[in-house]
Copies of this chain bind each other. A is one copy, B any other.
Amino acid sequence: MSETTLPAPLTGIIPPLVSPLSDRDTLDVGGLERLVEHVIAGGVTGLFLLGTTGEGPSLSYRLRRELVDRVSRQVNGRVRLLVSISDTAFVESLNMARHAADCGADAVVAAPPYYMPEGQPELQDYLGHLLPKLRLPLFLYNMPSLTKVSYELETVRWAMGQPGIVGMKDSSGNMTYFNRVREAVSARPAWTLLMGPEELLAESVLLGGHGGVCGGANLFPRLYVELYAAANRPDVHRIRKLHALVMRVSGLIYQVGRHASAVIKGIKCGLNCLGICDDFMAEPFHRFRERERALIASAVSKLAEELDEQGVGTRRS
């Protein structure tokens, strides 16, 4: 593995960056640039590219490479860059890992292979084969609702003993699991533990987590950045205020659609309403139609006001 200046642990808010598209296989280049500046201005400490919110697995490999290339050049070291190499094919994970390293990313991120349902010993073998071939540190990405297979506790404990594995993003939504991992992490102070679902950011940081990979931080980065800071101090009064706003975002933006795609569609549509980027979505999803869009537009402007009242809005003073 090459030298890295990745903080250990990595803290703060690292949005799973939306991938702005103007067509099925075409980046919305201007939108992408605006989005990156928007979240960096909001105080995030890193970007996570090609994750679930970034529709990574739905994009062609060509487009995935272009996105990593463009973002890394734009970011230019201002924040940390994490790139998903999650794939069903080991060789394609390696190809993407090589590209990420070539572009100067700081780390790669791997969920369990998501077609074949491997057992935990097979998953450890898989990681064991992957590690010596990586030039960047590796984060685990626990996302059992989509990958079917979870990084079970035994595997996480094993991973903590592997030099190349430096942390984990847990999107299981299972706080008992998260608590157990956090307990194990307490013996590895350099290991990073990040929360996926933003509804659980406050409590996870209060109890020792290092930050969050919050989808909503694409829209309202300062809200999550300030909530992280309040939880880190900790300032429980402030936490409660901001946590309530996070729940408002979740309630107003993520439950408009009917299917599991509702969260990603809501965020992308919201970004469009904010004038940041196109809301074209890669198959098998499609952008919200008029009815849903009107709900999102109204929610976004209502939320923007409420956020401004708490000083975590997008309006710069």
- Chain A interface (Cβ < 8 Å from any Cβ of B): 24-25, 52, 55, 57-63, 88-92, 95, 112-119, 122-123, 125-126, 129, 145-148, 173-176, 179-180, 183, 186, 197, 199-200, 202-203, 206-208, 234, 236, 239-240, 243-244, 247, 250-251, 258-261, 282-286
Contact B89 A58 (CB under 8 A): yes
Partner among B91, B119, B129, B243 whose Cβ is within 8 Å of the Cβ of A60: B91
A89–B65 alpha-carbon span in the complex (Å): 14
* A244: nearest chain-B partner, CB-CB: B183
Contact B284 A122 (CB under 8 A): yes
Contact A122 B207 (CB under 8 A): no
**With A88-B57, A91-B24, A207-B240: A112-B175 Cβ-Cβ less than 8 Å:** no
**With A119-B261, A129-B283: A206-B91 Cβ-Cβ less than 8 Å:** no
| Chain B contacts for A208, CB-based, 8 A | 240
A118–B282 alpha-carbon span in the complex (Å): 12
* A120: nearest chain-B partner, CB-CB: B259
Closest chain B CB from A58 CB (angstroms): 6
| Chain B contacts for A113, CB-based, 8 A | 58, 283-284
A63–B89 alpha-carbon span in the complex (Å): 11
**With A122-B259, A284-B113: A176-B173 Cβ-Cβ less than 8 Å:** yes
A91–B66 alpha-carbon span in the complex (Å): 15
Closest chain B CB from A121 CB (angstroms): 8
Closest chain B CB from A280 CB (angstroms): 13
A119–B262 alpha-carbon span in the complex (Å): 10
Closest chain B CB from A232 CB (angstroms): 10
Closest chain B CB from A242 CB (angstroms): 11
* A148: nearest chain-B partner, CB-CB: B148
5 contacts between A and B (CB under 8 A): A59-B89, A90-B284, A125-B286, A173-B176, A176-B199
Contact B115 A206 (CB under 8 A): no
| Chain B contacts for A203, CB-based, 8 A | 175, 202-203, 206-207
| Chain B contacts for A199, CB-based, 8 A | 175-176, 179-180
* A174: nearest chain-B partner, CB-CB: B173
**With A90-B24, A176-B199: A114-B115 Cβ-Cβ less than 8 Å:** yes
Contact B126 A284 (CB under 8 A): yes
| Chain B contacts for A112, CB-based, 8 A | 284
| Chain B contacts for A24, CB-based, 8 A | 90-91
| Chain B contacts for A60, CB-based, 8 A | 89, 91-92, 95
